[in-house]
Structure 1
C-alpha cells in the first residue's frame, strides 16, 4: 500500500492474475484432511456479470488453533471472497506467519480482503502496511486505500453488491483516529459511495468497519453515533464489524417517525423496523459483529441497555462459538447465516429481500 493514507483515489487492480479479473468466482473443491503444510491452492475461475456473490466475514483472528478452525470453515464454504474485519495477530513481527497461515488454508490467489483493526492500525501489534504487502488486494476495481478505506463492486460488471470498508474510531500512527466526523472528507467519501451504489441501482450495500457502535459485549460506540446514524439514514442494508469478541446481530433498525435518531447506551422500540428473521430491504439496517475469528471470546451482557436491539448473540457466557458469517447476495435476496467452527453448535440466520 504505497502512498499517503489520505489519498482516496483509485488503487486499480492490485497484482492479480487474469483468472481473477472478474469477482464472480466459483471455487473448486478444497479437500481438508490431516494438516498439510502445503495444501493445494483453491482455483478461482470466473463467472458471468450479475451472478450471485458468496462472501464470508469475520474479525479478531490471531494465530492459533481457533483461527485455523475458522479458516477451515471458510475454505469449506468456498466463498468468492472473505472480508477480514481487523485485528489479525495481536503480536508485532509475525505478519508473514499470519499471511502464511491464511494462504496455506485458502491458497495464494484467494481474495482475503483486509480492513485494519486497532491492533495493527498504529503498528503496536502488527503493521497494516506489512499485512497488505503479504495479503494484497485481489479484487478488480478497488477504489480508496486498500486496508484502511476502500470500496469495490461485486462482480465488477453488473454488480449485485457494493462493499464499503471504512476505519472510524481507531488510532493510527500519530495516535489519532481518522476523521469521520460529520461532513468531513471521509464522511463524505462514505456517504458518496453509498449514494452512488443506489443511483447505479446496485441491489445491496454492505459497509464494513472494525469497531461497532451498538454492542452487548465489552465496548461502547467507538464508531461514533453520528456516523452510525448516517448509515441508517442512508438505508445501508448490512453493517459488519469486529472488535468485540462476540457474535451479535441486531434486528432491522431505522430512524424517522418514532425514532428521530438512534442513541447509544439506550433503547427505543421506535427504532425497530422489523424483528423477525425475514426482512424487507429499505425498512432499515442490520448490524452484525463477527469478532469470533479465532481469539478468546468476551461475555455478552443481557442487561445492557441496548439488548433490545439484538436478535441473536453468542459469547463466552452464552452459546460460545468461533466461526464466520456466510452471506449470499443475489439480485433479489441477501441471505446470511453464522457458520460455527468445528466443536461449536451456535447458529443464526437472517434474510433481506428486495421489494
Structure 2
C-alpha cells in the first residue's frame, strides 16, 4: 500500500403528485398494502367468457399515450352487479390474461356494497411507455379466482420506439462516460448526440445494440411465468476524451423514433477536485397512483424527487443493492428506469447487486428473493465497468474516493483475491479515501439470525472473510444496505469501538465506520436489537431518506437526510492530513 502521507416531464409529474390523493381516483377500494398483491392473481384460474356481459362498459381516456407517460382515466359500469368484488387491471395489448399477471390493478368494489341496479365509477392509472399498446380489463371476483367481464378500448402509443430509461455510467477511462437506454424492438438505429452547448450538439455516436434476454434466460418462478414481459431493445454509446469540469449536453434517439429530453452532466472529476455524491440502498419504485403494485415502495418517490431537486452540483449516485424490487415482474424494471431517469441522466448511476436481483435456488444463497431473475435483468440493465456476466464485483475512482464493490450474493472466497489485489493498488496520495461496498452489512442491529440468509448469519460470514483485510488496508467506510434502516457505527473492529493508539495524531486511522443505508424506499425493517449494542452511534428504523457524501483530499463528510422533513438527522466527518 502507498501510505496516507505519500426536466420538464419530470416537473409536470411533480405537480401532479402534489395534488391531493383523492384527486387520483373517484371511487376505489383502498390498496391492501400487501408486499406482493399480484401474488393473489392466478392466471390459470381466470375465466374468459365467449360473449361480453350485457350492460358492462369499460373505457379509457385519453386513448393515446404521449411520450413521457400520463394519467389515464378508466370508466367502468356494470348493470345489476352481483354482490362480489370487482377490479380493474392494466395490461399490454398482447398480454394473455390467462398466462400473464397484470402490470397493476385496483379493486373498485369489495363485495360488501349494498344491492343496487348498477355500479361504476372513474379510476386513475399512471401509465408509461412499455413499448406496447395498453388495454384494461374489468374482472369480477377476487384476483385468485377472477372472471373477465370486458376489455377496454386500446390506448395506443405516440411512439412505441421512444427511447426510455436513460442512464449514465462512469467508465474505467477517466475521460469516458457511457449512456444506456431502451427502445421498442422496432427501432432500426439509435444515435447519441452531445456537445458543449445545449443548442449545438456537434458530436454524434452510433449506438450499439446490446444482446437482450428472453424468458428462457430466467431461472424460474414469477420471472419465467406470469411476470414475464419483453424487456425491449438495449442500446449503449460511450463518449471519450471528455475534460473534467466541462459541462456536457446530450440527447439520444433518432429522427424516426424520437429523441430523449436533452440533459447534461459533468465528466468524472479528478482526484484533486471535490465531489458530492448521493448514497442509498433498497430504493425500489412506486407508480404514482393508488393501485395495487407488486413490492410497492411508496417512499421511494420522496427520495428520488428530493434527490432530483438538489441534483445540481452532485457528481454521482451510488445505489448499494436491491434496485427495483422487480422480483420477477418485468414491468417493474420499466417503472424503475422511468423513475430514476431524471437523476441517472444527470450523473453516473453506479450500483451493487442485491439479494432481490440475484438470489435463487441453485445459487450460493438458495432462497427465492429474485423471483427467478437470478441476476439476468440486472446484469444487462446495470453493467458496471470491469464486471462480467454473473460476476458483478468491480472498483472505480471518483475524485479523491476509491470504491471497492463486491457482491454479498456470490461466493465470498471467490472475491477475496479481487479485493486484496484491488486494495493493494490504491494510492492513498491520489485517492486518500476508500469505501468498501456490499449490499448485506457486516455489522447490523438486527434480531434476524435465520439460516441461511439471516442478517446476523450473513454479517458473520462477511466479517470472517473481509474484516481483518479491511482494517489492515485502512478502509474508511463500509457501506451496505439490505436492512431497511439507517445505521452508523463508531470505527469498529471485532465487535468493539476502537481506541486511538498511544501518541496517535487527531486524524489517525481507527478503523472503518460501518453504514447501513437501506432506508431509501422499501418498507422499514424494525427488528432492531434491544438493548442497542454500544457500537451503534445512530440507528433509525422508522423513517426513509438518503445520504450525501462530500469529499476532498483532506475531509470526507456523510449526512443522513430524512425525506419526511427534509432535514439532516445524522452527520459525521473524517479528516486526513495531506501528504
TM bracket (short chain): 0.7 to 0.9
Local SS of the residue matching 1:280: coil
* Residue range with higher mean Cα deviation, 282-291 or 115-124: 115-124
2:265 corresponds to: 44
Change (3 A) 1:180 1:291: same
Q: Does 1:313 align with 2:551?
A: no
Change (3 A) 1:191 1:69: same
Change (3 A) 1:297 1:204: same
Is the contact made by 1:23 and 1:154 (CA closer than 8 Å) also made in structure 2? no
Unaligned runs of 5+ in 2: 1-170, 180-237, 250-258, 287-297, 361-369, 449-454
Relative contact order higher in (CA < 8 Å, ≥ 6 apart): 1
| Correspondence 1:188-337 to 2 at 5 A | 188-198=417-427, 201-217=430-446, 218=448, 219-223=455-459, 224-226=462-464, 227-254=466-493, 262-263=494-495, 268=496, 271-272=498-499, 280=507, 282-299=509-526, 301-303=528-530, 307-315=533-541, 320-337=542-559
CA shift, 1:122, in A, is: 3.3
Local SS of the residue matching 1:216: coil
Q: Does 1:167 align with 2:430?
A: no
1:80 corresponds to: 315
CA shift, 1:301, in A, is: 2.6
Is the contact made by 2:407 and 2:438 (CA closer than 8 Å) also made in structure 1? yes
Structure index of larger Rg:
2
In the alignment, the residues of structure 1 paired with residue 564 and residue 473 of structure 2 have an alpha-carbon distance, to the nearest angstrom, of 38
1:15 corresponds to: 178
Is the contact made by 2:277 and 2:318 (CA closer than 8 Å) also made in structure 1? yes
| Correspondence 1:107-126 to 2 at 5 A | 107-108=344-345, 110-122=347-359, 124-125=370-371, 126=373
Change (3 A) 1:102 1:216: same
Q: CA RMSD in A?
A: 3.2
In the alignment, the residues of structure 2 paired with residue 295 and residue 18 of structure 1 have an alpha-carbon distance, to the nearest angstrom, of 34
In the alignment, the residues of structure 2 paired with residue 14 and residue 48 of structure 1 have an alpha-carbon distance, to the nearest angstrom, of 12
Local SS of the residue matching 1:51: coil
Change (3 A) 1:239 1:100: same
TM-score, length-normalised on structure 1? Answer: 0.73
CA shift, 1:239, in A, is: 0.9
Aligned residues: 296
In the alignment, the residues of structure 2 paired with residue 11 and residue 127 of structure 1 have an alpha-carbon distance, to the nearest angstrom, of 26
Change (3 A) 1:69 1:161: same
In the alignment, the residues of structure 1 paired with residue 244 and residue 458 of structure 2 have an alpha-carbon distance, to the nearest angstrom, of 32
In the alignment, the residues of structure 2 paired with residue 25 and residue 314 of structure 1 have an alpha-carbon distance, to the nearest angstrom, of 39
In the alignment, the residues of structure 2 paired with residue 195 and residue 239 of structure 1 have an alpha-carbon distance, to the nearest angstrom, of 17
Unaligned runs of 5+ in 1: 1-9, 29-37, 171-177, 255-261
* Residue range with higher mean Cα deviation, 90-99 or 14-23: 14-23
Is the contact made by 1:20 and 1:46 (CA closer than 8 Å) also made in structure 2? no
Match of 1:179 among 383, 390, 411: 411
Is the contact made by 2:285 and 2:336 (CA closer than 8 Å) also made in structure 1? yes
Which structure: greater strand fraction? 2
In the alignment, the residues of structure 2 paired with residue 290 and residue 20 of structure 1 have an alpha-carbon distance, to the nearest angstrom, of 34
Change (3 A) 1:326 1:165: same
Change (3 A) 1:166 1:238: same
